[in-house]
A and B are shown apart, each in its own frame.
Chain A
Amino acid sequence: MSAHFDLVVVGAGPAGIAAAIAAARAGRSVALVDDNPAPGGQIWRHGAHLPAAARKWLVELQASSVVPFYGWRVIDHPAARLIRAESGADCTDLQYDRLILATGARERFLPFPGWTLPNVLGAGGLDAMVRGGLPIAGKRVVVAGTGPLLFAVAGHLAARGAKILAICEQAQLGHLASFARCLLSDPAKLFQGAGYMLAARGARLHTGCWPVAAAGTTQLESVTLCQGSRKWTVACDYLACGFHLAPNTELAQLLGCRTAYGFVVTDDLQRTSVTDVFCAGEPTGIGGVELALIEGQIAGLAAAGKLRDAQSLVPRRQRKLGFVAALRESCTLNPSLRNLADEDTIVCRCEDVRHAALRGRASWRDAKLHTRCGMGPCQGRICGVATEFLFAWHADSVRPPVLPAMVSSLASPGPTRNQPASLSAETAISAHSKETP
Chain B
Amino acid sequence: MSEVWDVVVAGAGIVGAACAAECAGLGLRTAVVEAAEIGGGATAAGMGHIVVMDDSPAQMALTHYSQTLWHALSPHLGPAVEYESCGTLWVAVDDQEMDEVRRKHRVYASAGITTEILDSHSLAEAEPHLRQPLAGALLVPSDGVLYPPCAAACLMEQAQHNGARLYAPRRVVFARAGTARLDDGTELHAAHIVLAGGADTVQLLPELPIRGRKGHLVITDRYPGMVRHQLVELGYLKSAHSVTTDSVAFNVQPRRTGQILIGSSRQYGAEDSAVDHEILAAMIDRTRWYLPDAGSLSAIRVWTGFRAATPDKLPLIGPWPGDETLILATGHEGLGITTSLATARLVADHLLGRKPKISIEPYLPERFSRSLAHA
The digit string for A385-408, where 1 denotes a CB below 8 A from any CB of B, is: 000000000000001110011111
Does A362 sit within 8 A of B, measured CB to CB?
yes
Q: Is the CB of A369 within 8 A of B235?
A: no
Q: Which of B192-200, B280-288, B318-326, B342-350 contacts A (4 or more CB under 8 A)?
A: B280-288
List 7 A–B pairs whose Cβ atoms lie within 8 Å, in order of A's numbering.
A365-B40, A401-B299, A406-B295, A416-B288, A421-B286, A431-B235, A436-B49
Does B118 sit within 8 A of A, measured CB to CB?
no
> A373: shortest Cβ distance to chain B, in Å?
12
Q: CA of A362 to CA of B39 in the docked complex: distance in angstroms?
A: 13
> B260: shortest Cβ distance to chain A, in Å?
9
Q: CA of A379 to CA of B303 in the docked complex: distance in angstroms?
A: 13
> A80: shortest Cβ distance to chain B, in Å?
11
Q: 6 additional contacts, CB 8 Å, given A370-B80, A422-B248, A431-B286?
A: A369-B149, A420-B289, A429-B247, A430-B243, A431-B239, A437-B49
Does B160 sit within 8 A of A, measured CB to CB?
no
Contact of B289 among A405, A418, A434, A437 (CB under 8 A): A418
Q: A410-B218, A425-B242, A429-B246 are in contact. Are A405 and B299 (CB under 8 A)?
A: yes
Q: Is the CB of A419 within 8 A of B247?
A: no
Residues of A at the B interface (CB closer than 8 Å) are 76, 78-79, 89, 362-363, 365-366, 369-370, 375-377, 379, 399-401, 404-412, 416-425, 427-437
Does B184 sit within 8 A of A, measured CB to CB?
no
Chain B residues within 8 Å of A377, by CB: 221, 298, 300
Residues of B at the A interface (CB closer than 8 Å) are 36-40, 44, 46-47, 49, 51, 53, 55, 80, 149-150, 153, 169, 218, 220-221, 230, 232-236, 238-244, 246-251, 253, 262-264, 266, 275, 277-282, 284-290, 292, 294-303, 313, 333-335
Q: Is the CB of A407 within 8 A of B284?
A: yes
Residue of B nearest to A429 (CB): B282
Q: A421-B286, A430-B242 are in contact. Are A407 and B37 (CB under 8 A)?
A: no
> A89: shortest Cβ distance to chain B, in Å?
7
Q: CA of A119 to CA of B51 in the docked complex: distance in angstroms?
A: 47
Q: Is the CB of A401 within 8 A of B302?
A: yes
> B193: shortest Cβ distance to chain A, in Å?
24
Residue of A nearest to B154 (CB): A370
Q: Is the CB of B300 within 8 A of A401?
A: yes
Q: Is the CB of A379 within 8 A of B218?
A: no
Q: Is the CB of B297 within 8 A of A425?
A: no
Main secondary structure of the interface of B (DSSP, over half): mixed
> A215: shortest Cβ distance to chain B, in Å?
29
Q: Is the CB of B51 within 8 A of A437?
A: yes
Q: CA of A376 to CA of B221 in the docked complex: distance in angstroms?
A: 7
Q: Is the CB of A433 within 8 A of B232?
A: yes
Chain A residues within 8 Å of B286, by CB: 420-422, 431
Q: A408-B296, A410-B281 are in contact. Are A435 and B47 (CB under 8 A)?
A: no
Q: Is the CB of A407 within 8 A of B289?
A: no
Contact of A406 among B240, B298, B335 (CB under 8 A): B298
Q: Is the CB of B239 within 8 A of A425?
A: yes
Q: Is the CB of B263 within 8 A of A437?
A: yes
Q: A435-B266, A437-B232 are in contact. Are A369 and B282 (CB under 8 A)?
A: no
Q: Is the CB of A421 within 8 A of B334?
A: no
Q: CA of A375 to CA of B221 in the docked complex: distance in angstroms?
A: 10
Q: Is the CB of B295 within 8 A of A407?
A: yes
Q: Is the CB of A425 within 8 A of B241?
A: yes
Q: Is the CB of A406 within 8 A of B334?
A: no
Q: A431-B233, A431-B248, A436-B264 are in contact. Are A369 and B55 (CB under 8 A)?
A: no
> B245: shortest Cβ distance to chain A, in Å?
9
Q: A406-B296, A435-B334 are in contact. Are A399 and B303 (CB under 8 A)?
A: yes
Q: Is the CB of B281 within 8 A of A365?
A: no
Residue of B nearest to A361 (CB): B37
Contact of A89 among B234, B296, B333 (CB under 8 A): B296
Contact of B285 among A362, A379, A420, A432 (CB under 8 A): A420
Q: CA of A420 to CA of B288 in the docked complex: distance in angstroms?
A: 8
Q: CA of A437 to CA of B234 in the docked complex: distance in angstroms?
A: 12
Q: Is the CB of B280 within 8 A of A435?
A: no
Residue of B nearest to A434 (CB): B236
Q: Is the CB of B301 within 8 A of A407?
A: no
Contact of A431 among B238, B288, B292 (CB under 8 A): B238
Q: Is the CB of A369 within 8 A of B249?
A: no
> B60: shortest Cβ distance to chain A, in Å?
13
Q: CA of A419 to CA of B232 in the docked complex: distance in angstroms?
A: 17
A407, A421, A435, A436, most chain B CB atoms within 10 A? A436
A362, A400, A421, A437, most chain B CB atoms within 10 A? A437
Q: CA of A99 to CA of B246 in the docked complex: distance in angstroms?
A: 32
Q: CA of A421 to CA of B292 in the docked complex: distance in angstroms?
A: 14
Contact of A369 among B40, B246, B284, B295 (CB under 8 A): B40
> A425: shortest Cβ distance to chain B, in Å?
5
Q: Is the CB of B298 within 8 A of A405?
A: yes
Residue of A nearest to B284 (CB): A411
Q: Is the CB of B44 within 8 A of A432?
A: no
Q: Is the CB of A400 within 8 A of B249?
A: no
> A353: shortest Cβ distance to chain B, in Å?
11
> A380: shortest Cβ distance to chain B, in Å?
10
Chain A residues within 8 Å of B263, by CB: 437
Residue of A nearest to B291 (CB): A407
Q: Is the CB of B285 within 8 A of A434?
A: no
Chain A residues within 8 Å of B288, by CB: 407-408, 411, 416, 418
Residue of B nearest to A89 (CB): B296
Q: Is the CB of B39 within 8 A of A369?
A: yes
Chain A residues within 8 Å of B51, by CB: 436-437
Q: CA of A419 to CA of B93 in the docked complex: distance in angstroms?
A: 13
Residue of A nearest to B281 (CB): A411
Q: Is the CB of B264 within 8 A of A437?
A: yes
Q: Is the CB of B280 within 8 A of A370?
A: no
Q: A431-B247, A437-B232 are in contact. Are A366 and B40 (CB under 8 A)?
A: yes
Chain B residues within 8 Å of A429, by CB: 244, 246-248, 278-279, 282
Chain B residues within 8 Å of A78, by CB: 277
B230, B279, B285, most chain A CB atoms within 10 A? B285
Q: A362-B169, A428-B244 are in contact. Are A406 and B297 (CB under 8 A)?
A: yes
